[in-house]
Amino acid sequence: MRHRRLLVPTAALWLATAPFAFGQIAEDRIEGDVIHHVLPKDRIPAIDEPQLVLARDAVEFMRDDEPVIGVVGPDGQARCYSAWQLDLHEIVNDRFGDQPYMVTW
């Protein structure tokens, strides 16, 4: 009985640490959670110099059901970004006058 109680946790510990001991997996963690290296940096290109057009010129390329992220600037100027388009870029570095902001998706 005494042996069993000792054996179980020892085996569990070995199994949990074995891959590291053999150098098979190098897990990178931040605050205990794995950070997955999925793609090279900038493979998904952020937009740094966004070109903006007026709504009347956007009608030809925007669809009614297309989801957008909308934002209103300090001077009341409204601006929006298509979520479908953001799938390709994830980040837009933009500004309202001297107030820089970024859209993240």
**Footprint on this chain of other proteins (rule: CB under 8 A):** 30-31, 33-48, 50-55, 57-58, 61-72, 77-85, 87-93, 98-105
Minimum CB separation of residue 19 from other proteins in Å reads 18
Tell me whether residue 12 is exposed, middle or buried, using C-beta atoms within 10 angstroms of its C-beta: 0 to 12, 13 to 18, 19 or more: exposed
Closest contact distance (angstroms) between CB of 53 and other proteins is 5
Minimum Å gap between C-beta 15 and other proteins is: 20
DSSP assignment, residue 101? E
In terms of CB distance, is 23 or 60 closer to other proteins? 60
Q: What angle do CA 5, 21, 19 make, to 5 degrees?
A: 80
